[in-house]
Amino acid sequence: MNLILLGPPGAGKGTQSERLMDAYDLVQLSTGEMLRQETKLKSKLGDEAKVLMDAGKLVPDDLIIAMISGRIDDTKGAGVILDGFPRTTAQAEVLDQMLVDKGMQLDRVIQIEIPEPEVIARLTGRFSCAKCGTGYHEVFNKPKVAEICDKCGSKEFVRRSDDNVETARSRLRAYHEQTAPILPYYEAAGRLSTVDGMGGVDQVFARIKEIVEGA
Ligand code: AP5
């Protein structure tokens, strides 16, 4: 099974990807996460991407496409969750051809919807485990034991440099202007399902599960 998760920043794509991976044995391919890794490595791509990411702008299509194609090959036929890709019409068109070339089929495109005030609240309260990357929120999704990661027990947490109010607004603008226009493309192909991203993480996952199991 191959899925695309779309939605505004903070909609819960990463959080729900973690659940989907565990439930359906899928591999998550997050272009945002790949770019953050490149930034940590201080590669040419990482340096170029960091400036754009901190401004809340999208990274150019050609760089993203070159990066994701190899990562899909690395999964060696496992089902994938594309988290945050495609994000422009050009990326969606290239992905279609890429899937044909790789002999893969796209089962569902799931759009998670949340309203703008929730985007800001979720991004400004987000943090994650520095060791294993598990995501949390200071109000909505705290570790079970304060300051200890549920998954790996680490006590070190990090915040993203683009999780501030100003950058969050630019990211949301980029979503509306460049990403939302690809939704009709998938709708016309009969592949799009939209879920309400409001409510608890378990509640949203139950909605996604219903879609996935009917896919
Ligand atoms: P990326 O990392 O993909 O960021 P994003 O799309 O803005 O999405 P986020 O990771 O911020 O949010 P999410 O939906 O995963 O939410 P999460 O589950 O963490 O991209 C970053 C940047 O990289 C882009 O701005 C761009 O510059 C570049 N980029 C990436 N891909 C690109 C591409 N394809 N083309 C060009 N440029 C690209 O949840 C958020 C918070 O809310 C967490 O704290 C979580 O605990 C909490 N939460 C989750 N679910 C719930 C719930 N149901 N109720 C309450 N709280 C919840």
pLDDT for 26-82, tens place per residue? Answer: 999 999 999 999 999 999 999 999 999 999 999 999 999 999 988 998 988 889 999
Q: Catalytic pick from 50, 108, 171, 207?
A: 171
Residue 135 lies in a domain: no
Question: Residue 207 belongs to a domain with what CATH number?
Answer: 3.40.50.300
Identify the residue whose C-alpha is closest to ligand 1 atom 12: 10
Residue 105 lies in a domain: yes
Q: Is 126 a catalytic residue?
A: yes
The DSSP line for the chain is: --EEEE-STTSSHHHHHHHHHHHHT-EEEEHHHHHHHHHHHT-HHHHHHHHHHHTTPPPPHHHHHHHHHHHHHHTTT--EEEES---SHHHHHHHHHHHHHTT----EEEEEE--HHHHHHHHHTEEEETTT--EEETTTB--SBTTB-TTT----EE--TT-SHHHHHHHHHHIIIIIGGGHHHHHHTT-EEEEE--S-HHHHHHHHHHHHHH-
Residue 122 lies in a domain: no
Look at residue 68 in the predicted model and tell me its pLDDT. Answer: 94
Q: Is 207 a catalytic residue?
A: no
Residue 49 lies in a domain: yes
Q: Catalytic pick from 50, 122, 126, 207?
A: 126
Residue 166 lies in a domain: no
pLDDT for 155-167, tens place per residue? Answer: 999 999 999 999 9
The number of folded domains in the chain is: 1
Pocket of ligand 1 (CB under 6 A): 7, 9-15, 30-32, 35, 52-53, 56-59, 64, 84-85, 87, 91, 122-123, 126, 135-137, 140-141, 171, 199-201, 204
Residue 8 lies in a domain: yes
- Containing structural domain, residue 73: 3-115+178-214
pLDDT for 92-146, tens place per residue? Answer: 999 999 999 999 999 999 999 999 999 999 999 999 999 999 999 999 999 999 9
Residue 132 lies in a domain: no
Residue 103 lies in a domain: yes
The model's pTM is: 0.95
